[in-house]
Amino acid sequence: MILRRLCLMLLGALFLSPVLSAAEKPNIIVIMADDMGYGDLSCYGATRVKTPNIDRLAAEGQRFTSGYCSASTCTPTRYSLLTGTYAFRRKGTGIAPPNSPAIIQPGTETIASLLQSVGYRTAVIGKWHLGLGGPNGPDWNGELKPGPREIGFGFNFLLPTTNDRVPQVYVQNHRVLNLDPKDPLWVGDRKPSDDHPTGITHRDTLKMDWSHGHNSTIHNGISRIGFYTGGHAARFRDEDLADEWVNQSNKWIESNKDNPFFLFFSSHDLHVPRIPHERFQGKSLLGFRGDSIVQLDWCVGELMKTLDRLGIAENTLVVFCSDNGPVMDDGYKDGALENNGDHKAAGPFSGGKYSVLEGGTRTPFITRWKGRVPAGQSDELVCTIDMAASFAAMTGAKLKDDACVDSFNVLGAMLGEKGAAGRDHLVQQDNGKGGNYGLRVGHWKLQRHDSKQARNVKVNTPLANASVARYRLFDLSNDPGEKKNVLDEHPEVAKRLTALLDKVISDGRSRP
């Protein structure tokens, strides 16, 4: 298998254009959607929502049919995107709580530090959800370090956690923006006082009701996970998030247009609570979930306008991806299920967020570099975890052997080079709590369930019967929805894939 991949890579190298013989340093923008499924864009078949700006990226570049994130929840995918390492290799990469300390520690090689080492200006703007601060967690009223700036980002403007968790403030570089020291910010996991308003005690005041779990502190008429007090001058309005990400990004791009730059535009759309700006509400047939897709598409369009206005589109590689697959009711009564109609958010795949089915990690993946990446569709297997090694190869950054240990150099495939191969296998994981895995090799997909229960899929057979309960095998060429378990019909394939998955996990690395 590895020999086949090396042969394909060597074959691809024969067809690479001459300019790849030397390091290239285009600007790089990675746009990551949140909870967007394979079928949520019109360029991937959606009909109940229109995404003309993202469709334009796809029309002018490569649209991947086998593009993946590495996990079916946000924190582990974001960890693996930046570090090039599967999140299951490090404890504490499940869904980060509000007061999580920094998950990626200083000294860890990241996409940002690699690119910084070869002269790139670097920034992350948008959702972080990878923890801040030392072992005791964030000092919300002091310096929030370590954080992005300690792992290679020269600038950050963040939503520190995720917006269904507290607090609703921006973090610029090391501090909460606009924080009044006379009104200190407190964040905790227990109710601060008996009279503290929550989604349970003050449910009749909410402008968006909760369905499960999201019933603690109320801000902007929406109750969240966790508790906080103070920091009122620093708090934002949910409806303004996308505008702020675009404004901050455009300012930063303009300030750094004369240098090679890397921008990680980390959108919160279409994660709950889905509260798009008023001008986008009602713009789709899918309720607030679809309206949030329209809002994200607008964000992409605004960034592309800036590249065109500054005359740097021909020197900028844009990658569009998602952190995991779709989810409908994720804790709020926002009409996502009621308005879904015949929309297939995961496209032809089963499952979604939280699961190791294809719908959990196979997502939109688009690359555009005007004049450099040819327009077309690619069936090559690529993953967000591969950006570290691929960008290092493109720019000449030195990638140490013990860094980014699961990131493959699939640059040729990402750039649409003739004959270039993607990766030959990929491990998928859920949020880490259940210890469930998926392994795709060619058209085969192995599921390994170390827990009986996983969101979007239930393993009914007792775990004691390991040959049935723990493993399932599917032929994606005939069964993309993973409906028919063919493990008994193909025991040798199941044995081979089981051994490979065990090896990838036990070896502590998979990068050649």
Q: What are phi and psi of 480, to 5 degrees?
A: -65, -20
Residue 302 lies in a domain: no
DSSP-derived 3-state class of residue 137: strand
- Which run of H or of E encompasses 506? helix 491-507
The two structure tokens encoding residue 216:
């603690």
DSSP-derived 3-state class of residue 46: coil
Residue 380 lies in a domain: no
DSSP bridge pairs for 156: 124
As a whole number of angstroms, the distance between CA 86 and CA 89 comes to 6
As a whole number of angstroms, the distance between CA 68 and CA 363 comes to 6
Query: What is the full per-residue pLDDT of the chain (512 aa) written as tens digits?
Result: 444 454 444 444 444 433 344 689 999 999 999 999 999 999 999 999 999 999 999 999 999 999 999 999 999 999 999 999 999 999 888 889 999 999 999 999 999 999 999 999 999 999 999 999 999 999 999 999 999 999 999 999 999 999 999 999 999 999 999 999 999 999 999 999 999 999 999 999 999 999 999 999 999 999 999 999 999 999 999 999 999 999 999 999 999 999 999 999 999 999 999 999 999 999 999 999 999 999 999 999 999 999 999 999 999 999 999 999 999 999 999 999 999 999 999 999 999 999 999 999 999 999 999 999 999 999 999 999 999 999 999 999 999 999 999 999 999 999 999 999 999 999 999 976 668 999 999 999 999 998 765 555 443 333 333 443 589 999 999 999 999 999 999 999 999 999 999 999 999 999 98
Q: Which of 38, 34, 32 has its CA nearest to residue 358?
A: 38
Q: What are phi and psi of 134, to 5 degrees?
A: -80, -160
- Count up the domains in the chain and report the number: 1
Neighbouring C-beta atoms of residue 178, cutoff 10 Å:
14
Structural domain boundaries, residue 464: 426-507
Overall residue count recorded for the chain in this entry: 512
The two structure tokens encoding residue 376:
């077309």
Residue 450 lies in a domain: yes
Residue 441 lies in a domain: yes
* CATH number of the domain where residue 440 is located: 3.30.1120.10
Residue 442 lies in a domain: yes
Residue 496 lies in a domain: yes
Q: Which of 496, 444, 438, 432 has its CA nearest to residue 470?
A: 438
| R_g of the chain computed on alpha carbons | 22
Residues 408, 107, 161: CA angle, nearest 5 degrees = 85
- DSSP code for 377: E
Residues 308, 382, 432: CA angle, nearest 5 degrees = 115
Residue 483 lies in a domain: yes
As a whole number of angstroms, the distance between CA 323 and CA 141 comes to 30
Write the DSSP string, 211-266.
SSS--SBEETTEE-BSEEE--GGGB--GGGHHHHHHHHHHHHHHHTTTS-EEEEEE
As a whole number of angstroms, the distance between CA 10 and CA 18 comes to 15
For residue 505, give the amino acid letter: I
As a whole number of angstroms, the distance between CA 499 and CA 506 comes to 10
Q: Is the peptide bond before 487 cis (omega within 30 degrees of 0)?
A: no
Residue 439 lies in a domain: yes
